[in-house]
């Protein structure tokens, strides 16, 4: 049983976590300042424009469809991986997180290059689903893997057929994991711009970008971004409700019965394998092949290897630093949220999710504004860019760390204290040490996402500092798609490394690595 105490949280932890959350919410400060500059009449005009709501509806509709699609893909996939003797199971396990390595705009671009007429709502739904379903699949895998089969057996003894028993017990227990993953997917879809722009979907982000790009009216744009934040808040509270009501069980006594893998009939085996092949093809193979074709088409200027490798190094370093900062910022919040159930704890947690809802351009501008006015020596520095990544992607680290920490009994830390360890050291040597794999996984996830980031990078990077994403972008600007292909491929390959590590880490780890990102 997850033990949350009704103790008051120690003030140091509470204030530490609050500080970290406040740092993560810096873009909100910017929004408030800018919205404050808008006249009430302007705000009213924006809110009453029908078009605004049409695009909101489109974005919400897209997010809904993508979430449902991700769930529909993830549940059978997770079941096949955890409950059956699927052929090549290990192979599929390790590749399961790889679609995360493909940025949405690269996937969109690759598909459009292959099928020129591809566009519209359903095309965007397909592509966004294929690059984001691992966010749901990974936590689901962990949940199903650690479920105690004993509960299902009890349900069956009470007269339920196997499927019904499954739904009544294990499925219920998987809801928090699925909910957390769905939240990430929904926020991702709402804030995505690259893919929906390429696929010509009239999404809400388009309105925001247009506001920035065309009207230079940062006030109006801020109001629109504020709407996105409200939407995100609603989603976050929905997820919290879904998470809160369900019970989470660890096997407490004796050895937890893991489900025995079922053997599949040859027909089912073939069908299942086909399922996996199809997913891998659509999410990975096709984009990569499309890029390779473009690569083959030749370019005007030959590939500058030095430039490519330089971009690879830059991307790796700055995203790694961003991941480190994100993990450090998220840790106090995760430590707080995993043990204490007060209102302040959940508020602090919710506030830190704000970065995920906002499009990169808003985060970028907010940090431009705030850094140039408060810490100008950091403006356009490597460190600031890494910090922007941390703010943007902190929730991913937060979810993973929190889940990992939740699974460590508080008694361990208390015992360490009685053995003479001061509270912080006690925590580090017990909870910290034991949850390290989960925390590291969250860091990898941040690093992976940071590699693909574009709009904030463009604005905040040091002049002359290029990542793979910016190089890719500057080539596609010119319709030099052939020249863009090697950078797109390099980006996928580089991002595949942490993805692969995520899958592998999950595979070798037992139940305790909760990448509940």
Site for another protein in 72-131 (CB under 8 A): 116-117
Name which of 236 and 426 has its Cβ closer to another protein: 426
Nearer to another protein, 181 or 443 (CB): 443
| Cα–Cα distance, 479 to 475 (Å, whole number) | 7
Binding of another protein by 488 (CB under 8 A) = no
Residue 16 vs 310, nearer CB to another protein:
310
Residue 474's CB is within 10 A of a number of other CB atoms, namely 15
The C-alpha angle 327, 330, 334, rounded to 5 degrees, equals 120
* Stretch near another protein under the rule CB under 8 A, chosen from 67-75, 149-157, 175-183, 432-440: 432-440
Bridge partners (DSSP) listed for residue 262 = 84
Considering the complex, what minimum distance in angstroms separates the CB of residue 48 from another protein?
12
Q: Does 235 bind another protein (CB under 8 A)?
A: no
Element (H, E) at 34: helix 26-36
Q: Does 494 bind another protein (CB under 8 A)?
A: no
Pinpoint the alpha helices (H) of 375-430.
382-406, 410-418, 423-427
Rg of the Cα trace of the chain?
Answer: 23
Q: Residue 365 CB, nearest distance to another protein (Å)?
A: 6
The full length of the chain comes to 517
Q: Does 210 contact another protein by CB under 8 A?
A: yes
**What is the SS3 assignment for 262?**
strand
C-alpha to C-alpha distance for 7 and 2, rounded to whole angstroms: 15
The CB-of-351 to another protein minimum distance in angstroms stands at 23
Q: Kindly report the CA angle at 378 between 374 and 380, in degrees rounded to 5?
A: 115
Listed residue (113, 132, 3, 161) closest to 69, CA to CA? 132
**Tokens at residue 472, please?**
């890719």
Residues with Cβ within 8 Å of 473's Cβ and at least 6 positions away in sequence, in order, are: 454, 458
Nearer to another protein, 264 or 434 (CB): 434
| Region binding another protein by CB under 8 A among candidate stretches 72-80, 129-137, 277-285, 498-506 | 498-506
Binding of another protein at residue 509 (CB under 8 A)? yes
Segment interacting with another protein (CB under 8 A) among 155-163, 232-240, 283-291, 299-307: 299-307
- Answer yes or no whether residue 436 interacts with another protein by CB under 8 A: yes
Regarding 342 and contact with another protein (CB under 8 A), the answer is: no
How far is the C-alpha of 22 from the C-alpha of 164, rounded, in Å? 45
* Cross-strand bridge partners of residue 340: 5
Could you tell me which of 496, 487, 195, 492 has the C-alpha nearest to residue 359?
Answer: 195
For another protein, the closer CB: 154 or 434: 434
C-beta separation of 408 from 430 below 8 A: yes
Residue environment code for 343-373, b if the CB has 16+ CB neighbours within 10 A, otherwise e: eebbebbbbbbbbbbbbbbbbbbbbbbbbee
Applying the rule CB under 8 A, the residues between 445 and 464 that interact with another protein are 447, 455, 458-459, 461-464
Q: How far is the CB of 268 from another protein (least distance, A)?
A: 31
**DSSP 8-state code for residue 284:** I
Out of 213, 241, 245, 262, which residue is the one contacting another protein (CB under 8 A)? 213
Residue 16 interacting with another protein (CB under 8 A): no
If binding means CB under 8 A, how many residues of this protein chain bind another protein? 108
| Residue 124 or 175 with smaller CB distance to another protein | 124
In the complex, what is the shortest distance from the CB of residue 207 to another protein, in angstroms, rounded to a whole number? 8
Nearer to another protein, 107 or 318 (CB): 318
Are 275 and 80 in contact, with CB atoms under 8 Å apart? Answer: yes
CB-nearer residue toward another protein: 264 or 412: 412
Six-digit token string for 496: 């595949």
- 299 near another protein, rule: CB under 8 A: yes
- Cβ density class 246-259: b for 16+ within 10 Å, e for less: bebbebeeeebebb
Residue 385 CA, distance from chain mean position: 19
- Minimum distance from residue 99 beta carbon to another protein (Å): 19
User: Which residues between 236 and 265 bind another protein (CB under 8 A)?
Assistant: 251-254
Within residues 174-203, the interface with another protein by CB under 8 A covers: 197-198, 200
Which of 39, 41, 216, 296 touches another protein (CB under 8 A)?
216
Q: Is 12 in the site for another protein (CB under 8 A)?
A: no
Is residue 504 within 8 A of residue 497, CB to CB? The reply is no
| Residues in 48-77 at the binding interface with another protein, rule: CB under 8 A | 49, 51
Indicate the residue among 83 and 218 with the shorter CB distance to another protein. Answer: 218
Contact status: 476 vs another protein (CB under 8 A): yes
420 forms part of the interface with another protein (CB under 8 A): yes
Q: Which is nearer to another protein, 93 or 421 (CB)?
A: 421
Decide: 136 and 182 in contact? Cβ < 8 Å.
yes
| First vs last C-alpha separation in the chain | 21
Phi/psi at 173 (5° precision): -70, -20
Segment interacting with another protein, rule: CB under 8 A, options 66-74, 156-164, 214-222, 284-292: 214-222
Residues of span 357-416 touching another protein by CB under 8 A: 361, 364-365, 368-369, 372-373, 376-377, 379-383, 386, 407-409, 411-412, 414-416
Question: Quick check: 321 binds another protein (CB under 8 A)?
Answer: yes
Is 475 one of the binding residues for another protein (CB under 8 A)?
yes
> Which is closer to another protein, CB of 354 or CB of 499?
499
Interaction between residue 281 and another protein (CB under 8 A): no
Q: Is 282 in the site for another protein (CB under 8 A)?
A: no
Q: Please state at what angle helix 204-215 crosses helix 218-245, rounded to 10 degrees.
A: 160
């Amino acid at each position: 049983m997850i033990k949350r105490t009704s103790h008051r949280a120690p003030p140091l932890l509470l204030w530490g976590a609050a500080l970290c959350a406040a740092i993560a919410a810096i873009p909100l400060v910017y929004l408030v300042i800018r919205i404050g500059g808008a006249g009430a009449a302007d705000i009213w005009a924006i809110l009453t424009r029908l078009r605004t709501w049409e695009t909101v509806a489109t974005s919400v509709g897209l997010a809904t469809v993508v979430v449902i699609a991700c769930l529909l893909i993830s549940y059978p996939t997770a079941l096949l991986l955890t409950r059956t003797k699927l052929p090549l199971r290990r192979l599929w396990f390790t590749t399961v997180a790889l679609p995360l390595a493909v940025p949405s705009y690269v996937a969109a671009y690759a598909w459009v290059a292959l099928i020129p007429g591809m566009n519209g709502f359903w095309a965007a739904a397909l592509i966004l689903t294929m690059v984001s379903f691992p966010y749901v699949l990974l936590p689901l895998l962990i949940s199903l893997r650690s479920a105690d089969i004993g509960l299902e057996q009890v349900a069956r003894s009470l007269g339920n057929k196997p499927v019904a028993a499954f739904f009544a017990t294990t499925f219920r227990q998987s809801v928090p994991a699925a909910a957390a993953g769905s939240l990430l997917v929904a926020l991702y879809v709402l804030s995505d711009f690259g893919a929906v722009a390429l696929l010509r979907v009239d999404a809400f982000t388009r309105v925001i970008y247009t506001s920035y790009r065309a009207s230079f009216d940062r006030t109006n744009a801020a109001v629109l971004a504020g709407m996105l934040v409200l939407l995100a808040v609603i989603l976050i509270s929905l997820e919290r409700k879904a998470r809160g009501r369900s019970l989470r069980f660890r096997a407490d006594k004796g050895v937890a019965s893991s489900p025995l893998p079922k053997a599949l009939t040859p027909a089912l085996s073939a069908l299942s394998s086909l399922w996996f092949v199809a997913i891998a093809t659509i999410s990975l193979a096709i984009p990569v092949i499309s890029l390779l074709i473009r690569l083959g088409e030749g370019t005007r200027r030959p590939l500058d290897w030095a430039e490519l490798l330089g971009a690879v190094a830059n991307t790796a370093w700055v995203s790694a630093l961003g991941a480190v900062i994100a993990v450090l910022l998220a840790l106090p919040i995760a430590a707080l949220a995993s043990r204490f159930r007060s209102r302040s704890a959940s508020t602090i947690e919710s506030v830190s999710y704000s970065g995920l809802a906002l499009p990169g351009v808003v985060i970028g501008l907010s940090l431009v504004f705030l850094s140039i006015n408060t810490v100008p020596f950091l403006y356009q520095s490597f460190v600031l860019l890494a910090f922007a990544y941390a703010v943007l992607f902190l929730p991913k680290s937060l979810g993973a760390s929190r889940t990992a920490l939740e699974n460590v009994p508080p008694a361990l830390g208390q015992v360490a204290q009685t053995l003479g360890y001061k509270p912080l050291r006690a925590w580090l040597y017990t909870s910290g040490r034991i949850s390290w794999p989960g925390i590291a996984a969250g860091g990898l996830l941040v690093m992976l996402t940071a590699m693909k980031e574009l709009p904030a990078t463009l604005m905040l990077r040091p002049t002359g500092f290029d990542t793979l994403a910016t190089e890719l972008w500057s080539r596609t600007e010119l319709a030099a798609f052939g020249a863009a292909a090697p950078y797109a491929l390099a980006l996928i390959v580089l991002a595949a490394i942490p993805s692969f590590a995520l899958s592998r880490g999950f595979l070798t780890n037992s139940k305790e690595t909760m990448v509940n990102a």
